[in-house]
Each structure stands twice: as structure tokens, then as C-alpha cells.
A and B are shown apart, each in its own frame.
Chain A
Amino acid sequence: MPHPAPKRPSDAPPLSFQDLILTLHAYWGAHGCAILQPYDLEMGAGTFHTATTLRALGPDPWNAAFVQPCRRPTDGRYGENPNRLGAYYQYQVILKPSPPDLQALYIGSLAAIGIDPLKHDIRFVEDDWESPTLGAWGLGWEVWCDGMEVTQFTYFQQMGGYDCKPVSGELTYGLERLAMYIQDKDSILDLAYNTPQPGMPALTYGDIFLENEKQMSKWNFEVADTDTLFDLFRKAVAECENCLAHKLPIPAYEQAIKASHVFNTLQARGVISVQERAAYMARVRDLAKGACTAWMDHNGWAA
């Protein structure tokens, strides 16, 4: 199948952050993906979106692409580090079953956003993906562009403890990194967010998000009331179990995601020890796996 891969001309001005997203939407939309909206819960990675986790289960074909805001409280740096943020965006593509030309499709998407593979060094470097909290793993690579990891490329083998039948291909683009790359910027905060129009201000990523980073870092690391967080964790766990008892996999899964994020925040507050950490992760994994099991049952899929 010939792919309409509109290669971005090398003399074109680099894409703004928002145009990068729109270009990827257009590209994957043209390749048959449903373009979804972000999941409206706090989560640490796009893989947690039900469009990835739950849809990776079962036999039905599924092709989707979406942006997922990610929150990683421990990665926050008060907006002082040019390369790290506590909240950022991933671009997720999931194709099930994984098409035979997935690598070519992916490289086509890089060409579409203006990366010339004869000028830049694109490499597939082994990186097996595992999410202990989701009971999931897959084989694949981190894709390097001139030494920078720009995408995680994974063939899911298991999700929620179940073999993937069939296997999905998952692409996770780090949007800020890609944008820094194509815009040749040294700081995330300096990224051009929009394409300025006459009479309208040019916005940088920092204009929009710097204050969020500062305040959220302060809250995550210093202010968040840990008793409240522990309480939230317990309540999310209890509610997840309540949902599972009522055979409601999606609400159960949402509660598992909430518990996971509360746990991440507790980690940023530095109140979880190494050993406790394992126990908390096991707890979240059990919830997520429980939700996956309920989802399999609900759909009548055999393990």
C-alpha cells in the first residue's frame, strides 16, 4: 500500500508546537487512525489512556492517535531545567494488529514533520518496555534522532497480565523533545507554541506553562498534604474494588489511574521508601489488572 507521506520541504519554516501536533494528526488520520482527545484524568504516560490499555486487549482491530498530557511529579524542576518538566505531552499512536510496515509508517511521520533521515541520524536502539503498574510489557526500541530519544516504539506482548492477541504496535512521541529538535531550541520553555499572525502575539511554551511548572513543583515537592494524599490513595483503592465488585471495568480502571497518580505525588513528596514503593506499585498493579480482567470478562474474551 503506497502511503501518502507528504515530506515537509527542508526550506519550510519549522513547525510550531501546535502545528507539530496538527501535522501528526493529519498524518495518522490519513492512515486510518481515529484521532481521539486526551483522557481527562491525571496520568503518567499516554499508555494509561483506555484507548491504549483496554483497547490493546481482545481481538478487535483498533487504530487510534491522540495527544495525552502526562504528569510526572518527580520530574518537576520548578521550571528551572531546560529539559525537564513535571507535566508534558505525549503523542500516542496505537495500531492493532501491528501493521507489517509500521517502521516505514513511523519514518514517514518524521518526514512529515520535517526530519530528513539523510541529514539526521535515526536509529532504533533496543529498549524493552515494561509497565509494572499495568502488568504490561513489550519489545521494541527507543528511536534516537541524533542521539536524542524522540519516540518509544513498542510491540505490546502482554497487557494487564494477558497475552496480546493480536499484538499492537504503539508509538509514543515525546512532543517537546521533537519540537526542540525541529525548532532548534535549547530549552523547552523557548519553544514556539503557535504560528504568530499579524496583530497576534507569538507565544512560547514557557509563556503558557512556566507558571504551572513553578507552582505544581512547589505543591508536589513541598506543599501537598501527605495525610490527604494517603487518604486519597486509600479511597481510590476502595472505590476501584467497589467498581470491580459491580463488574464495571472502565470506572474501576479510572480509580486505578487515580491511585497511580496519587502514589506518584506521594513519591515526589519523598514519603515513600524503597520497600514501600514496591508494595504500593503492587497494589496499583493489582487494581489495573483487576480492571483488565473485568474488561476481558465484560467482552467475553478468553485469556
Chain B
Amino acid sequence: MTDFLLELRSEEIPARMQAKAAADLARLFTEQLAAAGLAATETQTFVTPRRLALIARGLPEATEAQSEEIKGPRTSAPPQALEGFLGKTGLQQSDLEDRDGIWFASKQTPGRDTRDVLAEAIPAIVRAFPWPKSMRWGAASTSTESLRWVRPLHGIVAIFGSDLVPCTIGDVTSGYETLGHRFHHPGVITIGGADDYAEKLRACHIIVDAEERRAIIRDGAKQLAADQGLDWILDEALVAENAGLTEWPVPLIGSFDPDFLSVPREVIQLTLATNQKYFVLESPPHANGEGDRPQGGGGGAEGAAQRLPQLAPAFICVANIDANDGGAAIVDGNRKVLAARLSDARHFWDQDRKKTLAQHAGGLARITFHEKLGTVADKVDRVARLARWLVEEGIVKVPPRNGEGDHAKHGGGVVSPSATPDETRPSVTSADAAAPPPRTGEELSRAQLATLVEQAARLAKADLVTEMVGEFPELQGVIGGYYARAEGLDPQVADAIRDHYKPVGQGDDVPTAPVTVAVSLADKLDTLVGFFLIDERPTGSRDPFALRRAALGVLEILNRNALRMGLWEAITRSLGGFAPQKLSPETGDENYEAYIAAQNDVFAKLPNFLADRLKVQQREAGVRHDLIDAVFALGGEDDLVRLLARVKALQAFIETPEGTNLLAGYKRAANILKKEDWGDPDTNGAHPEPVEGSSEGLRQAQPGRERDNSLSYTLENAEAALVAALDSAEPAARDAIANEDFAAAMAALASLRAPIDTFFEEVIVNDPDPDKRAARLRLLARIRSAVHAVADFSRIEG
């Protein structure tokens, strides 16, 4: 058994690609060997910025010899048949044996030397390597067919035991030589094999094991922080990135001017971690000294921020060398870079605050939101009106007394998203009174809430034209929140500005503070309605305006806060905001009609789009998509919170034995009706009017109508029992639905299960007497109708 070493040495591999590259190398290698009938007892991979390596242990010297018996033509066959056989197999006639009049050959395939298998496998692996992005280089690149690698490939070490595995890929030929650290050991190193690889490289300032480098960074950073009495903030992604940027990681600690801490914390963190790849440090909560100075100078971050650990004016960077001056020059250089970046940020912070957010918002008129949907200022105006309406309609409600919004956890921001406590959930309170703005802790009136909401909505996008957001676009909203606080606006307004983009994707915080909820919901509705109005809907994987995310945001806000909003009304309201831009008294009839058609399209498509998103969103929560369909298909339900409650009740019911049997009974009834062409299922249980153009059968099936029919025969017991059950269950289910008591609606349906079962057991629908048959079919139609008062069971799977 022999060990194999492979090293592919290139120019610097992007840090973010390294882990997957190591896994891909192991996978491709194992596949190549398996195809040749070989397997290693153990495969290890290594990756550094400049090399991707693999050690496979316990490989045999050769693949196993194969013996194969081949049947040839009959000995009596014409000579051409034998010649053809020999030509095809490459055998001689002397290799053949006459066995009962048939030529047989026993072909021996000797085992292949593992070295040969490897020599073929290596180029195959390199050529098939799935880099996320690869490139061509050098003189060979006059052809676009030239070798591609993540960056120029320079060397291959391929040693089996102590033997070189010879192979050539592009202009690179395998050898025993590799290079050490770019600066510490620029010369050639000769590797003996798998056993001395890691240690020889270590001697040349290369740590090939990424996990070991990560550990060095973690331990080193933690120690450096502790030595200065600071807390190191572990950021595993940043540890991995730094380990991917170094072959010899050396953590170093430096400091920056504490005056920079007046800049919002998110800006500092972004500058340190994202731009510079430095680790952030905090002063322990009760530490004395400089680290304890409060943040948020200039009114930036008072309040809750003081309860959080303070950022320390320090950073940890990770160098790739053991510097000959102990790292002093490196720390100083990094400090200067950081100071330059932070002074830029502070410049923006100071400049931006010379204007109020309202003044900044004036600049939004110069930014186009979408060429067909006007400027951002237009959008802001629409959102402000819609948000106000959400409050005035009582959809977003005044919070209970002392309802402290999630603004209390200010400072969490993007970095450590704060949880939203349940107690901030708005509940029914309405106190319409013209009163001065309430002080904290006092109950808001609906009018006051509407005023705050409109103010927040009008300022929410103002930070888009600030210099800070120009520089740090990922901090949109967050920065506006800081500026709002700095100019002394109501904390609820500041929070709404900060959080109104939330939730950004699944798993993000969902707003619960009423001002934020109203602005966030209105913003997303406006986006959805606007883009549906101009027919810019997502198709396949294309969703350039992130409408799926907006829809998900709407659903999460509605559900999380149990907001009762009629979608039709909200769409109608939202559409109203777009009309003035499109329509005027001079608008021609043609444009007017096109616009009306576009509006109708929004009503036709947006609710379905939201229903689809609801299915996706609820899949994780285990809510069945077919049940959502079953309720949604009834039409008339445009309150998504109520719809979901109904779906959940339905799911709880349908998964009981009662529900399963009722579904079976329903299907049996529906199938018979279908076979008898007894009208289409009444898909509109919420509307008692017969569907226009429905068949005679369906009209007969309308409840109430048939009860007037006098029957020409005596009901069988089971038949009478079913009629009685329907007479009580139908109104009970309808009333329960109307009262939103969905459990009761399900119970009403459940009461039908036994009578339906008995009916099918004891009564023959297809009676020779046409009156009986018709009456029984009508009864089946009543079952279907009663069930459809709750959900369209034909949509339910199973």
C-alpha cells in the first residue's frame, strides 16, 4: 500500500473559493480512481492561497488483473467470421480454443500500474475542475481552448510513494519541486512524498492545513485582545477569509483614534470587517478607561447603545509574514489605511448632518425610481399616503399602553439583529383624539400614529441621497435612522426609517413596531403594485426588482402582526397613488383603456402571485400547498391572515381520520357527479349566487332550492339521516366561517362523515327510478356544496 501526494500550485486562489475547491479535488480524485477500480483508504486535502493539495493513503501498486472469457464464432462458420472476430478483439488464432465447435478465447487484462492511472487522472481532474470563475493566461491563450484555471497554474507535484507520476497539462509538467512562502522562502523546495510534504512546507513558512491556520488566527487574536483587556468578536467567516489570504498567518493588534467612535457603529464595523478584513474588538461592559467612553457623540447613538458593549478603538489584522521588525510597520500601515477610511466616514457623517433628513429628501425628486413609475420622491409620496391609510383604516393599530416599540433595542442594526418581542404586537386599541404628541409611555391616538407614520414614510428614503449611503449602500435605512435620531425626531420615526426595509429575505427580523410596520408594508405594497401595473413581473429566475422578496416581506409582516387587511382594498388604494402620473383630463381614450386594462391585470395577477409566495413561505412551516390552493380557489378570500388561519384549521382536520374519511366521501360524491355530468363543482362557496352560465345541474344543486322539491318517494333511513346532517351542518359551517371560527367549521364538516359513509353503504344512487336517482344526485351535490363552504376539496391531494 502506497501513499500519493498531489499539489497544484497556482497564483493566489480567492479565499472564498478555497474550501469548496478542496472538497471538489477530493471528490474528483475519488471518482477518477473509482473509475479505474481503485480506492484510497484515506484522502486528505489541503488548501492555501497558492496551492491545492491532496494526500491519498493506502493505494495499491496496481489495479487488479482481469480475466475475461470471450465467445467467438462457430468453428464451422465461414473464415470471414473468424477473421472479423480476431480483428475486433486483437487476438491470434493460436489464442483460441475449440470448445464443442465454438471458438473461445480467454483474455487476460493485466493490472494497470497505479502510476499510470494517476498520470491520466491528474490532467482529467484539472480540466474538469469546477471553479466558479476561471481564466486563461500567457502565450498559450492565443487559443480560447487553452487550459483554464482559477488563476495561472504554475506547478504540479505528483508523487506516488517516492516515484514521480509524470504528467503534463498545458505547459506545466509534474515534478518533485514546489515553492515555499513567497517572501520567506522564495526558492525551490524538493518534496520526497506524502510523508514529508506538510513538514517540509512548514519549514519554509507554509502551513498547508487551513484549519491549523484558522486556529492560529483564533487563538492569536483572542490572546492579543485579552492582553489589552478587550473582547475579541469571533467572526468565523472572517477567520476563514483571513486563513484563505495567508500561508503563514500572524495576527497583529493595532488601535485607532477613539474620536472615530462618534461614527455609527455599523459604519465602523463595515469598514473594519468588510473593507479591511480586520476583527472588531469590544470593551467589556464594565471596563474602566478609554474603552468605556459612551458611543454616539453628536447625538448619534444614545439611549440603548449604552447598554451594549462598546466598540473598542482597536483592530486585529492578520499578516502573512513574520515581519523583521515584529510587525510594527505593518500595524502602522494598517492603522493609517483605517484612519483614512474612518476619516472619510466621519466626513460624511459630519457633512450629512448639516442638513435635516427633510432637506435631504428634497433630492429624491432627482432620482428616478423607474422610468414608468416616476422618481423616488413620487414613490415616497405614494408610500406616505398608503402608510397613513393603513393606520386610518385600523389595519395597523395603535400599540397598547407602554408598548415600547422595537426601537428600544437600538444599536442592534444590521450587525446583531435584535429579536422582536411578542409583547410589542399591536392589539386593538382605538382612541381617536386630537391631542399633542404623546410622551413616551403615553397611549397614542390613531391620529397621532398616522402622523408619525406619514412623517417616517416621508423621511424613510432620504438617506439614499446622503454621502454616507453613497459610500456604504448596504447601510441604507440604518444611516437614516441615525440621522433621524441625531436631529431629535421621535424614536419611533427613527426606528421606522432604520427598519423599513425589513424583512430582507427569509430569516430576517420582521418589524413589529406599528410605525415601522405601516411604512414597511406600504413600501413593499407600493413596489409590488407598481411593477405589476407596468407588467414587470418576475419570470423564472429573473426577478430584477426583487418582487418575490417584497411579496415575502408583505406576507411576513401581515402574519407576524396578524394584520387584517383586505388585499383588494389595499391594491385599490395603492393603485390610486399611481393614477395621477398616468392619467389627466387630456388622457386619450386609448391610453385610458390601456391603463384600466393594466389595473385589472394587477387585480388578476398580484393576488395569485402572493398566494404562490405564501405557499413557498409556508412550506417550511409544514403548511400544505394543496390546502392553500383549496381555500384560495374558493375566491373571495383576500385577507391573507384569515386565509392562513383557515388553511391551518383545514390541515389539522384533514389529517385526522375524520378528515381523511370525509375527503374520501367527498371524492366519491364528486366522482359520481362528474360521471353523471352533474355540473361543475361550485367553486365559489362564499357566494351563494349561482355561477353565471352554470349548468342546470349546478343550479339544482343550490342549497335551499331543492328543499322545496316535493319528493315522490319515501327516503331511506341513511338518506334521511344525511339530509338531516346536511341541514344542520351546512348552516353551521357557513356561520362558523363567517365568524372565523374555523375549528367549528371543521367540526360541522366532521359531523357529515358518518352519515355520508352510511349513505354510501346503504343507498344506491343509480336507482332505476329516475326521481330517486335525481334526488340522490342532488343530495351528493349538497355534500359537495357544503364542503365547498369551507374549502375546495377537489384541490386536496391524497
Q: Which A residues have a C-beta under 8 Å from some C-beta of B?
A: 59, 77, 80-84, 97-100, 103, 107, 116-126, 128, 138-141, 145-148, 155, 157, 163-167, 169, 181, 186, 270-271, 273-276
Point out the residue from A117, A155, A273 that lies within 8 Å of B368, measured CB to CB: A273
- CB of A165 within 8 A of CB of B144, answer yes
CB-CB under 8 A from B347, the residues of chain A are: 77, 80-81
Q: Provided the pairs A119-B324, A121-B319, A126-B16 are in contact, do residues A146 and B337 lie with their beta carbons within 8 angstroms? A: yes
Point out the residue from A117, A139, A140, A148 that lies within 8 Å of B337, measured CB to CB: A148
- CB of B136 within 8 A of CB of A157, answer yes
Report the nearest B residue to A116, measured CB to CB: B324
CA distance A270 to B464 in the complex (A): 13
- CB of A118 within 8 A of CB of B370, answer no
- CB of B367 within 8 A of CB of A147, answer no
- CB of A117 within 8 A of CB of B340, answer no
Give the one of B139, B278, B369 with max A CB within 10 A: B139
Q: Provided the pairs A82-B343, A117-B321 are in contact, do residues A139 and B133 lie with their beta carbons within 8 angstroms? A: yes
CB-CB under 8 A from A164, the residues of chain B are: 136, 141
CB-CB under 8 A from A275, the residues of chain B are: 368-371
- CB of A166 within 8 A of CB of B333, answer no
> Taking the complex as formed, is B138 at the interface, i.e. its CB lies under 8 A from any CB of chain A?
yes
CB-CB under 8 A from A270, the residues of chain B are: 363, 366
> Taking the complex as formed, is B605 at the interface, i.e. its CB lies under 8 A from any CB of chain A?
no
CA distance A20 to B552 in the complex (A): 56
Can you name 7 extra interface pairs (CB under 8 A) apart from A122-B182, A155-B136, A165-B143?
A121-B319, A122-B183, A139-B133, A157-B135, A186-B339, A270-B366, A275-B369
> Taking the complex as formed, is B113 at the interface, i.e. its CB lies under 8 A from any CB of chain A?
no
Report the nearest A residue to B327, measured CB to CB: A121
> Taking the complex as formed, is B394 at the interface, i.e. its CB lies under 8 A from any CB of chain A?
no
> Taking the complex as formed, is B20 at the interface, i.e. its CB lies under 8 A from any CB of chain A?
no
Closest 10 interchain pairs by CB?
Answer: A146-B333, A126-B14, A273-B368, A124-B12, A147-B334, A166-B141, A167-B141, A121-B319, A83-B340, A117-B183
- CB of A128 within 8 A of CB of B133, answer yes
CB-CB under 8 A from A99, the residues of chain B are: 138
CB-CB under 8 A from A98, the residues of chain B are: 137-138, 141, 152
Q: Provided the pairs A271-B366, A273-B368, A275-B368 are in contact, do residues A146 and B142 lie with their beta carbons within 8 angstroms? A: no
Q: Provided the pairs A81-B347, A117-B183, A270-B366 are in contact, do residues A146 and B334 lie with their beta carbons within 8 angstroms? A: yes
- CB of A118 within 8 A of CB of B133, answer no
- CB of A165 within 8 A of CB of B133, answer no
CA distance A165 to B136 in the complex (A): 9
- CB of B321 within 8 A of CB of A124, answer no
Point out the residue from A80, A97, A123, A139 that lies within 8 Å of B139, measured CB to CB: A97
CA distance A117 to B205 in the complex (A): 14
Point out the residue from A116, A128, A155 that lies within 8 Å of B152, measured CB to CB: A155
> Taking the complex as formed, is B235 at the interface, i.e. its CB lies under 8 A from any CB of chain A?
no
CB-CB under 8 A from A121, the residues of chain B are: 319-321, 323, 330, 333
CB-CB under 8 A from A126, the residues of chain B are: 12, 14-16
What is the 8 Å Cβ interface bit string for chain B, positions 298-324, against chain A (1 contact, 0 not)?
000000000000000000010111011
CA distance A9 to B344 in the complex (A): 34
**Closest Cβ of chain B: how far from A4's Cβ, in Å?**
17
CA distance A100 to B10 in the complex (A): 11
CB-CB under 8 A from A166, the residues of chain B are: 136, 138-142
Report the nearest A residue to B347, measured CB to CB: A81
- CB of B338 within 8 A of CB of A147, answer yes
CA distance A271 to B245 in the complex (A): 41
Main secondary structure of the interface of A (DSSP, over half): loop
**Closest Cβ of chain B: how far from A8's Cβ, in Å?**
15
The 14 listed contacts between A and B (C-beta, < 8 Å) are A81-B347, A99-B138, A100-B138, A100-B154, A103-B11, A118-B321, A119-B325, A120-B330, A121-B319, A125-B277, A157-B135, A165-B144, A273-B375, A274-B367
CA distance A128 to B136 in the complex (A): 14
CA distance A80 to B346 in the complex (A): 13
- CB of A181 within 8 A of CB of B137, answer no
**Closest Cβ of chain B: how far from A60's Cβ, in Å?**
11
**Closest Cβ of chain A: how far from B571's Cβ, in Å?**
25
- CB of A181 within 8 A of CB of B333, answer yes
- CB of B333 within 8 A of CB of A147, answer yes
> Taking the complex as formed, is B659 at the interface, i.e. its CB lies under 8 A from any CB of chain A?
no
Q: How many residues of B contact A (CB 8 A)?
A: 58
Q: Provided the pairs A146-B329, A155-B152, A186-B336 are in contact, do residues A123 and B320 lie with their beta carbons within 8 angstroms? A: yes
**Closest Cβ of chain A: how far from B270's Cβ, in Å?**
15
Point out the residue from A100, A116, A157, A273 that lies within 8 Å of B366, measured CB to CB: A273
- CB of B49 within 8 A of CB of A124, answer yes
Residues facing A in B336-381 (CB within 8 A) are 336-340, 343-344, 347, 363, 366-371, 375
> Taking the complex as formed, is B276 at the interface, i.e. its CB lies under 8 A from any CB of chain A?
yes
> Taking the complex as formed, is B184 at the interface, i.e. its CB lies under 8 A from any CB of chain A?
yes
Q: Provided the pairs A124-B11, A166-B142 are in contact, do residues A118 and B323 lie with their beta carbons within 8 angstroms? A: yes
- CB of B245 within 8 A of CB of A125, answer yes
**Closest Cβ of chain A: how far from B412's Cβ, in Å?**
28
CB-CB under 8 A from B370, the residues of chain A are: 275
CA distance A59 to B140 in the complex (A): 11
Report the nearest B residue to A276, measured CB to CB: B368
> Taking the complex as formed, is B772 at the interface, i.e. its CB lies under 8 A from any CB of chain A?
no
- CB of A123 within 8 A of CB of B142, answer no
**Closest Cβ of chain A: how far from B276's Cβ, in Å?**
6
Give the one of A82, A119, A138, A164 with max B CB within 10 A: A119
> Taking the complex as formed, is B112 at the interface, i.e. its CB lies under 8 A from any CB of chain A?
no
**Closest Cβ of chain B: how far from A125's Cβ, in Å?**
6
CA distance A120 to B331 in the complex (A): 9
Point out the residue from A97, A123, A124, A274 that lies within 8 Å of B141, measured CB to CB: A97
- CB of A167 within 8 A of CB of B333, answer no
**Closest Cβ of chain A: how far from B759's Cβ, in Å?**
65
CA distance A270 to B363 in the complex (A): 9
CA distance A42 to B347 in the complex (A): 28
> Taking the complex as formed, is B151 at the interface, i.e. its CB lies under 8 A from any CB of chain A?
yes
CA distance A126 to B21 in the complex (A): 15
CA distance A106 to B142 in the complex (A): 23
Point out the residue from B16, B183, B332 that lies within 8 Å of A118, measured CB to CB: B183
Report the nearest B residue to A154, measured CB to CB: B135
Report the nearest A residue to B244, measured CB to CB: A126
CB-CB under 8 A from B344, the residues of chain A are: 81, 83-84
- CB of A118 within 8 A of CB of B324, answer yes
CA distance A146 to B278 in the complex (A): 12
CB-CB under 8 A from B150, the residues of chain A are: 139
CB-CB under 8 A from B329, the residues of chain A are: 119-120, 146
- CB of A118 within 8 A of CB of B142, answer no
CB-CB under 8 A from B152, the residues of chain A are: 98, 100, 155
CA distance A276 to B338 in the complex (A): 34
**Closest Cβ of chain A: how far from B156's Cβ, in Å?**
14
CA distance A251 to B722 in the complex (A): 90
Residues facing A in B489-531 (CB within 8 A) are none
- CB of A141 within 8 A of CB of B138, answer no
CB-CB under 8 A from A122, the residues of chain B are: 182-183, 320
**Closest Cβ of chain B: how far from A39's Cβ, in Å?**
26
Point out the residue from A103, A119, A148, A167 that lies within 8 Å of B136, measured CB to CB: A167
- CB of A163 within 8 A of CB of B144, answer yes
CA distance A124 to B246 in the complex (A): 10
Point out the residue from B134, B138, B317, B363 that lies within 8 Å of A147, measured CB to CB: B317
CB-CB under 8 A from A120, the residues of chain B are: 323, 329-330, 333
Report the nearest B residue to A273, measured CB to CB: B368
Report the nearest B residue to A165, measured CB to CB: B142
What is the 8 Å Cβ interface bit string for chain B, positions 134-174, against chain A (1 contact, 0 not)?
11111111111000001110100000000000000000000
Report the nearest B residue to A143, measured CB to CB: B12
What is the 8 Å Cβ interface bit string for chain B, positions 369-403, against chain A (1 contact, 0 not)?
11100010000000000000000000000000000
Q: Provided the pairs A98-B137, A100-B154, A155-B152 are in contact, do residues A119 and B323 lie with their beta carbons within 8 angstroms? A: yes
CB-CB under 8 A from A80, the residues of chain B are: 347
CB-CB under 8 A from B142, the residues of chain A are: 59, 97, 165-166
CA distance A119 to B184 in the complex (A): 11
What is the 8 Å Cβ interface bit string for chain B, positions 107-136, against chain A (1 contact, 0 not)?
000000000000000000000000001111
